[in-house]
């Protein structure tokens, strides 16, 4: 038998507009969830970052949260952990990673109830380095999903690889990038997809994992939730009990966590730093996160330079803002810090081919708010004049980076 484990990733950034959120909900989220409710035999994993869960509830779209909770309560889907505001985990600090994962779990548990029992973990954009493992493991996850390009050895289809973390091992499920992208870009159909899966193991037990944005279905590709998802689920249900062709198998759906009991443990490995948008050429160029921190991309360089200034200013605010008024500004800066680290502002600056000045700027303004509020906290604090001057110099350096970034966005500075 060939076992298919599917994961759908639901996400919108904290800077998303009300109108676009409602448009995506109408075109994708409601239709996809309707398909799942209709096909009770469908079993899969869902990752929804808590920033989106909260936005749905706050923007009058609570019916989508209710549907997700219902699917979880009836055991049809399993939810997986992630970072609340969709940060690129390898590019932020250990403390920031731990907080993001913890707050994601707290917010989703509050909104999804007892159906929120994540065993697996989805790193945003599948961006991976070994640095993220302690935070993932300490939060209690049993497995994580990575892009196939991260696999350092022969492709696993009948064993589950593991990685060392916190004195134990986590299981690793590798996304089949080729099959996933065929679905995402409508380069297959239900018949061809299932025929391909039925031949995977040559008649022996095998598994395949696919993962993609939920917005693929209905928003990016019109009617794809019906033409592919619903049609594939129906075709699986209609399969004969046995196959007539040699070296083929029936296809069944399972949740990713079920793979851990269906297949034996494989070797302990060290996955390669990568993302689900990283190509083999990128790997050869030592560019594991090309859409978020690419060498030679001046806008990326300036964005991350500014992040560094914000981090230092926020640390100074925490250290010295002890008086009530100073502490108020420090807390305001802290509240904005996690949303300010969301991935989209870097993605839109990648020029591969994504480039949107508005989305870059809107993300940057969150960072700028952190810098201003943290600087104000230090200025109002009981810190020495020397420390306050240091904060002023840091803000001046941040302003220089901002000036250069603005000129990049306007187009006055050569790329």
Phi/psi at 178 (5° precision): -65, -50
Let me know whether 327 and 266 are in one domain.
Answer: no
Alpha carbons 345 and 16: distance in angstroms, whole number? 11
Task: Decide if 292 is inside a domain.
Answer: no
The whole-number pLDDT of residue 240 equals: 87
Let me know whether 173 and 317 are in one domain.
Answer: no
Q: Render pLDDT for 10-56 as a digit per residue (tens, 0 to 9).
A: 999 999 999 999 999 999 999 999 999 999 999 999 999 999 999 99
Let me know whether 166 and 245 are in one domain.
Answer: yes
Q: Which of 249, 284, 319 finishes a domain?
A: 284
The whole-number pLDDT of residue 241 equals: 77
Task: Decide if 72 is inside a domain.
Answer: yes
Let me know whether 162 and 92 are in one domain.
Answer: yes
Is the peptide bond between 353 and the residue preceding it cis, with omega within 30 degrees of 0?
yes
Q: Is the pLDDT of residue 384 over 80?
A: yes
Q: Which of 259, 284, 309 finishes a domain?
A: 284
Let me know whether 280 and 387 are in one domain.
Answer: no
Residue 386: both structure tokens together: 């020397």
Alpha carbons 224 and 214: distance in angstroms, whole number? 11
Task: Decide if 7 is inside a domain.
Answer: yes
Let me know whether 126 and 99 are in one domain.
Answer: yes
Which residue reads 């305001």 in tokens?
332
Q: Render pLDDT for 321-371 as a digit per residue (tens, 0 to 9).
A: 999 999 999 999 999 999 999 999 999 999 999 999 999 999 999 999 999
Q: Is the pLDDT of residue 75 over 90?
A: yes
Alpha carbons 228 and 217: distance in angstroms, whole number? 9
Let me know whether 326 and 274 are in one domain.
Answer: no
167 or 297, higher pLDDT: 297
Task: Decide if 244 is inside a domain.
Answer: yes
Task: Decide if 415 is inside a domain.
Answer: no
Let me know whether 78 and 197 are in one domain.
Answer: yes
- Mean model confidence pLDDT for the chain: 96
Query: What is the CATH number for 183?
Result: 3.20.110.20
Residue 88: both structure tokens together: 């690129």
Of all residues in the chain, what percent carry a pLDDT higher than 70?
A: 99
Among 67-76, 279-288, 403-412, name the one with the lowest average pLDDT. 403-412
Instruction: Determine the straight-line distance between the first and last CA of the chain, rounded to whole angstroms.
Output: 52
Task: Decide if 245 is inside a domain.
Answer: yes
Mean pLDDT along residues 102-122? 98
Let me know whether 276 and 338 are in one domain.
Answer: no
Alpha carbons 37 and 31: distance in angstroms, whole number? 10
Give the sheet arrangement for strand 265-268, strand by strand: 120-121, 143-147, 168-175, 160-165, 265-268
Q: Which of 226, 250, 284 finishes a domain?
A: 284
Let me know whether 147 and 11 are in one domain.
Answer: yes
Number of neighbours of residue 215 by Cβ within 10 angstroms: 19
Let me know whether 325 and 392 are in one domain.
Answer: yes
For residue 392, give its domain range.
Answer: 298-410
Let me know whether 17 and 95 are in one domain.
Answer: yes
Task: Decide if 293 is inside a domain.
Answer: no
The SS3 call for residue 194 is helix
Q: Render pLDDT for 144-194 as a digit per residue (tens, 0 to 9).
A: 999 999 999 999 999 999 999 988 999 999 999 999 999 999 999 999 999
Alpha carbons 370 and 307: distance in angstroms, whole number? 10
Confidence band, pLDDT 50/70/90 cuts, at residue 395: very high
The whole-number pLDDT of residue 414 equals: 44
Q: How many domains does the chain have?
A: 2
Element spanning 169, H or E: strand 168-175
Nearest to 54 by CA among 16, 80, 26: 16
Task: Decide if 290 is inside a domain.
Answer: no
């Amino acid at each position: 038998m060939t076992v298919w484990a599917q994961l759908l990733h639901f996400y919108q950034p904290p800077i998303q507009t009300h109108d676009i959120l409602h448009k995506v909900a109408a075109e994708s989220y409601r239709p996809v969830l309707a398909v799942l409710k209709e096909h009770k035999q469908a079993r899969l994993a869902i990752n929804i970052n808590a920033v989106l869960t909260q936005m749905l509830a706050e923007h009058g779209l609570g019916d989508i949260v209710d549907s997700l909770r219902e699917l979880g309560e009836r055991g049809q889907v399993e939810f997986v952990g992630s970072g609340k505001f969709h940060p690129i985990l390898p590019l932020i600090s250990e403390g920031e990673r731990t907080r993001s994962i913890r707050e994601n779990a707290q917010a989703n548990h509050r909104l999804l109830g007892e159906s929120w029992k994540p065993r697996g973990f989805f790193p945003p954009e599948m961006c991976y380095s070994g640095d993220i493992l302690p935070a993932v493991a300490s939060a209690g996850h049993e497995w994580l999903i990575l892009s196939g390009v991260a696999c350092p050895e022969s492709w696993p289809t009948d064993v589950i690889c593991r990685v060392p973390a916190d004195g134990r091992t986590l299981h690793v499920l590798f996304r089949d990038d080729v099959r996933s992208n065929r679905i995402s870009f409508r380069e297959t159909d239900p018949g061809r997809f299932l025929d391909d899966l039925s031949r995977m193991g040559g008649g022996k037990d095998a598994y395949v994992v696919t993962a993609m944005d939920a917005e693929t279905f209905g928003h990016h590709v019109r009617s794809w939730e019906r033409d592919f998802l619903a049609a594939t689920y129906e075709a699986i249900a209609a399969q004969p009990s046995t196959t007539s062709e040699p070296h083929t198998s029936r296809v069944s759906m399972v949740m990713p966590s079920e793979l851990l009991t269906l297949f034996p443990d494989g070797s302990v490995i060290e996955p390669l730093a990568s993302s689900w948008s990283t190509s083999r050429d990128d790997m050869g160029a030592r560019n594991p996160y090309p859409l978020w921190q690419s060498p030679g991309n001046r806008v990326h360089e300036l964005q991350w330079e500014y992040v560094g200034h914000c981090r230092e200013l926020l640390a100074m605010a925490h250290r010295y803002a002890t008086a009530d008024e100073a502490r108020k500004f420090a807390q305001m800066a802290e509240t904005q810090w996690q949303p300010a680290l969301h991935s989209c502002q870097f993605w839109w600056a990648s020029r591969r081919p994504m480039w949107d000045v508005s989305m870059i700027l809107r993300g940057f303004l969150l960072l700028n708010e952190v810098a201003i509020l943290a600087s104000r906290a230090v200025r109002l604090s009981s810190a020495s004049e020397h420390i306050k001057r240091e904060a002023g110099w840091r803000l001046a350096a941040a302003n220089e980076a901002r000036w250069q970034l603005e000129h990049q966005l306007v187009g006055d500075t050569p790329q």
